[in-house]
Amino acid sequence: MKFAAFLVLFSFAASGVWADGFSSPAPAPQTQPAAVQSAPASSPGQRRPEAARRPRIGLVLSGGGARGFAHVGVLKVLEEAGVKVDLITATSMGSMVGGGYAEGYSPEEIEKIIKGVNWQKMFAPKPDRAEMNWRRKEDKEHGLSDTELGIGPQGFALPYGIITTQELDLFLSRVNEPASRITDLSRLPIPFAAFGTDLETGRALVLQKDILLSQAMRASMSIPGAFAPAEWKGHLISDGGLVQNLPVEEARKQGADIVIAVNVGTPLSPRSKLNTLAGVMGQMINILTEQNVQKSISELTPRDIFIVPDLEQYSSGDFDKADEIIRAGEEAARKVLPRLRSLAVPRSEFLAWSEQRRSAIEITGRHVLAGVRVEGLKVVNPANVEREIKLKRGDVVTTAQVERAAQRIWQDDDFLSVPYHFEPGPDGTEMLVFEPQEKTWGYSAFRVGGRLQTNFRDDHTFSFMLEHTLGWINAWGGELKTAVQIGEDEGLQLSYYQPLGVASPVFLNPRFSIGREDYDVYEGDIRAGTWQNKQLIGSVELGYELGRYGVATAGLGYTLLKPNRVVGTGERDVRDTRGFGNFVRFKLDRLNSTSFPTAGYKIDALGVRFWDEMGRSGMKTGYELSATGATTAGPWTFAGTVKAGRSPLEGTFKLGGAFNLSGSSYGRYSGDHMEFARLMAYRNLSSRLAQIGAPVWAGVTVEGGRAYNKLDGEHPGWKSAAGVFLGADTWVGPIYLVGGRTFGGDSAIYFMWGHIQ
């Protein structure tokens, strides 16, 4: 699937165009020849006067998202021609390619790095679910969105961007490890400067002094709306393409006599592409970018060389087309190969320079730590972060170990990203510095979620949840959650999570909830009425976190369960239940997704025992057990689920609806006992439906189960069902179109939004 389609989850790449970001529409035809344009050359017969010295060559590389891969092809031809580059100025993707070359990588090595990147993972909005802590996994199960709406003294605030930069930060630190001690980029083997935009003043910022190469690349690539701005020396920095997408002027200031400028920016879109809000907003950005690019072009002289690869059929989001885009850059540069060769130095001189430049990229891969430091935190307790790092003074560590530590910190969902760098220490050691980026919208935030299902006839159900989280109430990481749910099930839930120490796996979790759940009662195949269970539950549990695997808890609580008839006739022997009791819960969860898992497992077991104060039944017990596993073989994924339960209250468990005896009405079968099993087989169709904008899946499901009220003497046989479905994992949650039939019962076609339960 094209990354442009993946990025559609919030907007700007769906049908609009980023001048320097990721987009999906085809660019408008260029008004100049698409392959190459050169600044006017000297007139025939006119000889250029011999210079007293070799002219300094400045390479200028523009931004353009994936279109920037064409820079690699240009570099290949420059090396073939023997052009010795004296300095590089660049923006966004140009800064990634140009910075790598300035650092010492060859064009072939840069190409290998580009092709080895999982770009979809690089720009993933959240960590892999399997590596989250158990509380964030439960949020996913409840269908809560990834996007948070912060609230503080200045009102509501949204995140700066829809994509976290954690994977990007780690990638840039990894590949720029050879330059990890250089904070003056003019001291690289090839002097280098990247460009960013100061969001406060709108001015261009030259990113060269007092900055690491990885930081300069990251800041220059901060696409508005997609990535959070970078911070540097008091500046809030966004993508440099807004003000200097082709920094010719800076190359002159750095001492370039002759400029080789390569423009891969996305041109303006035609009117046919401006029929959406995203398209119009993208065009506005492109207008700003195109204006500064045209200004830079006007600064080129007859001695300069201007290269524009033919990228009309490629968007800035085509990260899966690196081969073709690199080839386009190479073809464009070859069209001016004679002019490039006129700038060449003797081959022996070029090879010596190239060898000297490349000698700088030797990577030992190991670091002796002088210590570990955490910087920049204002809300989160640094001691909590330090406990997660698990590295100390004197350790000899690899880059991979440091990255794993950064990932552990990030996966707790307290930070936007967790970049790191090394600083020189005594006697050849290095200080490892982590700089976790706290959430710009704060730790008081709302999230929404819910579920919806309809059979397009007479069966419609929905629920909507609004949850507020107040995090980091104290230095140990206390967290208060308040959730309100309306719809088919209604209720209010309060939960307070309190670790018993800094980064302690032991915690207390008081909870309180009130709510109601409706369930239907049938006489044969006729719906005879609707009943309602009202619940009030208060409890406190002591828990132990099992790392990233799960949690075990035990608790005491008070429960009031009260059934009432809502509509219908007839009397039923249902009674209130009220009393004190205890419970235990054990949960292991390593599923990699709640929507379409392709690997992992989840086991959830709950046991309850309490004394009925009503005095009719004495001690009552109940349990809920569920287990899910997923594995992938070739293009197909197989996922199985088994569930069972027993409750002292009628109507607690419900079956019916999509994926739960498909074909039947939602909640068609209900009771105090339940057994159920489901097997699904599905495959990803995204490569065939690349323009959909989200991962698309198709599959089949077979199900069997029963739910019944054993207290009423019921003991029915199992029902079986089968179905087919299409699903998409969108930024608002998973959606499904399902066709199913319960054998010996009904059939239906459903639309469903929300996670399968």
Tokens (6 digits) for 193? 């400067």
Closest-CA residue to 396 (of 423, 437, 364): 364
Closest-CA residue to 214 (of 168, 166, 170, 176): 176
**Nearest 5°: CA angle at 706, between 701 and 711?**
160
What is the C-alpha radius of gyration for the chain, rounded to an integer number of angstroms?
31
Name residues whose C-beta falls within 8 Å of residue 117's C-beta, 6 or more positions apart in sequence.
171, 319
Q: What is the DSSP string of 150-192?
A: EEETTEEE--SEEE--HHHHHHHHHHTGGGTT--BGGGSSS-E
Does the annotation mark 239 as catalytic? yes
Burial pattern 319-353, b for ≥16 Cβ within 10 A else e, equals bbbbeebbbbbbbbbbbbeebbeebbeeeeebeeb
The answer to whether 666 touches 657, Cβ cutoff 8 Å, is yes
Closest-CA residue to 627 (of 600, 606, 604): 604
* Annotated catalytic residue, options 86, 169, 239, 318: 239
The answer to whether 719 touches 706, Cβ cutoff 8 Å, is yes
Closest-CA residue to 559 (of 653, 645, 622, 486): 622
* Annotated catalytic residue, options 92, 269, 315, 670: 92
Q: How many CB atoms lie within 10 A of CB 358?
A: 16
Q: What counts of helices (H) and strands (E) characterise the chain?
A: 15, 36
Residue 588 gets the label, from left (phi > 0), alpha (psi -120 to 50) or beta, of beta
Does the annotation mark 38 as catalytic? no
Q: How many CB atoms lie within 10 A of CB 685?
A: 19
d(CA 180, CA 72): 23
The answer to whether 311 touches 67, Cβ cutoff 8 Å, is yes
Which residues are annotated as catalytic? 92, 239
